[in-house]
C-alpha cells in the first residue's frame, strides 16, 4: 500500500490493509476482481481497515464473559472495561465500513 493513499489509518489497519493488498496482487481470483470493481481501490483499503478492527472488538467481548461468569453477583470493573474497548473497536469497524461504502459510491460515480 503506497503512502498517502488514505487520509488516516491506525497502525493495525495499515498493516492488515497492506498485507491483504499485497496478497491480492499475487492471487488474482474472481472474488478479488469483483470486490475491486464494486468498491474501487480506495474502498478496498477502507474495507480491509474495517476487517482489521473486528478481532479487536470480538476478543475483548468474549473475554469479558470470564469475569462476569466468575462473579455473578456483581459486574466486575474489568468486564466493563473490556466491553468498552470492544464497543470502541466495533464502532470503528462500522465507521470504516461506511467509509468503504462512500468510497465505492464515489468510484462508481466517477466510472460512469
Higher pLDDT, 76 or 16: 16
Residue 80 has pLDDT above 90, yes or no: no
Residue 5, domain member (yes or no):
no
Residue 6, domain member (yes or no):
no
User: What value does the mean pLDDT of the chain take?
Assistant: 87
Say if residues 45 and 14 touch (Cβ distance below 8 Å): no
Residue 2, domain member (yes or no):
no
- Residue 76 structural domain: 11-111
For residues 92-111, give the mean pLDDT. 92
Highest averaged pLDDT of the listed ranges 20-24, 50-54, 79-83 = 50-54
CA-closest candidate to residue 14, choices 42, 54, 6: 6
Query: For residue 5, what is the DSSP state?
Result: S
Residue 73, domain member (yes or no):
yes
Residue 62, domain member (yes or no):
yes
Residue 36, domain member (yes or no):
yes
Domain count, the chain: 1
Cβ neighbour number for residue 95 with a 10 Å cutoff: 14
23-33, pLDDT tens digit by residue? 988 988 998 89
d(CA 6, CA 89): 19
Q: Is the pTM of this model over 0.75?
A: yes
Backbone phi, psi, residue 25, to 5°: -65, -35
- Total residues belonging to the chain: 112
Residue 77 has pLDDT above 80, yes or no: yes
Q: Which residue has the cell 482489521?
A: 52
For residues 78-106, give the mean pLDDT. 93
Amino acid at each position: 500500500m503506497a503512502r498517502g493513499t488514505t487520509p488516516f489509518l491506525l497502525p493495525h489497519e495499515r498493516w492488515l490493509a497492506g498485507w491483504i493488498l499485497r496478497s491480492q496482487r499475487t492471487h488474482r481470483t474472481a472474488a478479488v476482481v469483483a470486490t475491486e470493481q464494486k468498491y474501487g481501490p480506495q474502498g478496498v483499503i477502507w474495507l480491509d481497515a474495517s476487517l482489521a478492527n473486528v478481532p479487536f472488538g470480538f476478543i475483548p467481548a468474549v473475554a469479558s464473559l470470564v469475569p462476569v461468569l466468575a462473579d455473578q453477583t456483581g459486574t466486575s470493573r474489568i468486564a466493563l472495561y473490556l466491553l468498552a474497548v470492544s464497543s470502541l473497536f466495533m464502532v470503528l469497524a462500522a465507521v470504516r465500513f461506511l467509509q468503504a461504502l462512500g468510497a465505492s459510491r464515489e468510484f462508481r460515480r466517477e466510472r460512469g
